[in-house]
Amino acid sequence: MLRKAAIIGVPLDLGANRRGVEMGPSGLRVTNLAERIRKIGYDVVDRGDIDVPLPEECDIGDPKMKYAEDIKDVCEDVCAASLKAHKEGRIPLVLGGDHSLAMGSIAGSAKFHREKDERIGLIWFDAHGDMNTPESSLSGNVHGMPLAHVLGMGDEELMSIGGFKPKVRKSNCVLVGIRDLDEREKKNIVESGVMVFTMKDIDKHGVSHVMDEAIEAASRGTEGIHVSFDIDSCDPSIAPGVGTPKKGGLEYREAHLCMEMLADTKDVIAIDMVEINPILDTRNSTAEFASELILSCLGKRIF
């Protein structure tokens, strides 16, 4: 049976504090991503980009959650595009853009399965927790808050994207690659009860063991796994084109093994690839690496 995928670009930078990630979808497309996915056996359509306003066109709104109204509108559109892909039997490949877009993409995946009385799992790769709320955030940047809202914590409007909350049960949510947390964010994470694997855990137990545990938790009682991958989960030596680099991240083969193990489950239902900043990149190397990771998650094999 021919596998199907839909590329959805989201040039969103309203959630971050520096420009450049809005060019992430273009950086990924320049790597010839669609054709490379076709070569591993997929029918691929590129739906173009979701319309995203420029910061100069927007009202910053509440300084505790900057541009939240416009981000919500974009995420509702991402939700609709993701839901459409699911209904067509396609895996949504959502290209960012800052990580706040995941509030929309995960809503689309969860809504599709919710309509069939099913649940989804979530594996969130990130150097950061993205578990701040407007009350705990020191910056007010929404790209530091999306996971909290996906899990039903924070602002009511952002929690309710897609028309329901939460999107994922905390017991089916796993964070991988964490190494840089705000002090007040740590409290949110501990109280949430989500499973967290820091880089210390990966160093101590090995990435394959960590992924076995993550996949088991995300798969427990669910109909598939939504993979939300912030490229800053990887070490800056292999992914320099990110807005918030932090040394000590996943190495090249570790990141690919994570994706290959997910592909082996045959349970991946959607992929976000976010926070690629071509302005800060070296000859588009981060976007090239990100494209390779998408291919590995879709089933490209060494042998």
Residue-level pLDDT at 17 = 81
Given the residues 49, 76, 143, 149, the one annotated as active site: 143
Residue-level pLDDT at 107 = 98
Given the residues 235, 275, 281, 292, the one annotated as active site: 275
Please choose, from the candidates 142, 144, 165, the residue with its C-alpha nearest in 3D space to the C-alpha of residue 74: 142
Active site residue 130: yes
Given the residues 13, 22, 98, 99, the one annotated as active site: 99
Which positions of the chain have pLDDT values less than 50? none
Q: Can you give the residue ranges of every domain in the chain?
A: 3-297
Given the residues 86, 128, 149, 226, the one annotated as active site: 128
Residue-level pLDDT at 1 = 67
CB atoms within 10 A of CB 234: 27
Give the span between the Cα atoms of 270 and 6, in whole angstroms: 10
Cβ pair 70, 97 in contact under 8 A: no
Active site residue 235: no
Given the residues 70, 130, 155, 185, the one annotated as active site: 130
Angle at 112 between CA 106 and CA 113, to 5 degrees: 95
Given the residues 49, 98, 182, 232, the one annotated as active site: 232
Active site residue 232: yes
Give the span between the Cα atoms of 154 and 135, in whole angstroms: 8
End-to-end CA distance of the chain: 21
Give the span between the Cα atoms of 257 and 114, in whole angstroms: 30
Residue 101: HSE in the Cβ half-sphere, 13 Å Cα cutoff: 36
Give the span between the Cα atoms of 296 and 205, in whole angstroms: 22
Active site residue 251: no
DSSP labels for the chain?
Answer: --EEEEEEEE---TTSSSS-GGGHHHHHHTTTHHHHHHHTTEEEEEEEE-----GGGS----TTSTTHHHHHHHHHHHHHHHHHHHHTT-EEEEEES-GGGHHHHHHHHHHHHHTTT---EEEEE-SB-----TTT-SS--GGGSHHHHHTT-S-HHHHTGGG-S-SS-GGGEEEEEE-B--HHHHHHHHHHT-EEEEHHHHHHH-HHHHHHHHHHHHHTT-S-EEEEEEGGGB-TTT----SS--SS-B-HHHHHHHHHHHHHHT-EEEEEEE---GGGSSTTHHHHHHHHHHHHHTT----
Given the residues 13, 70, 126, 155, the one annotated as active site: 126
Residue-level pLDDT at 302 = 81
CA 90 to chain centre: 17
Model confidence pTM above 0.85: yes
Query: Domain 3-297 classified CATH 3.30.420.480?
Result: no
Phi and psi torsions of 214, nearest 5°:
-65, -45
Quick one: tokens of 37?
Answer: 């996915």
Given the residues 182, 230, 235, 272, the one annotated as active site: 230
Active site residue 126: yes
Give the span between the Cα atoms of 66 and 144, in whole angstroms: 11
Q: What order of strands is seen across the sheet that includes strand 42-49? A: 42-49, 3-10, 91-96, 268-274, 225-230, 121-125, 173-178, 195-198
Please choose, from the candidates 179, 180, 290, 186, the residue with its C-alpha nearest in 3D space to the C-alpha of residue 230: 290
Cβ pair 213, 221 in contact under 8 A: no
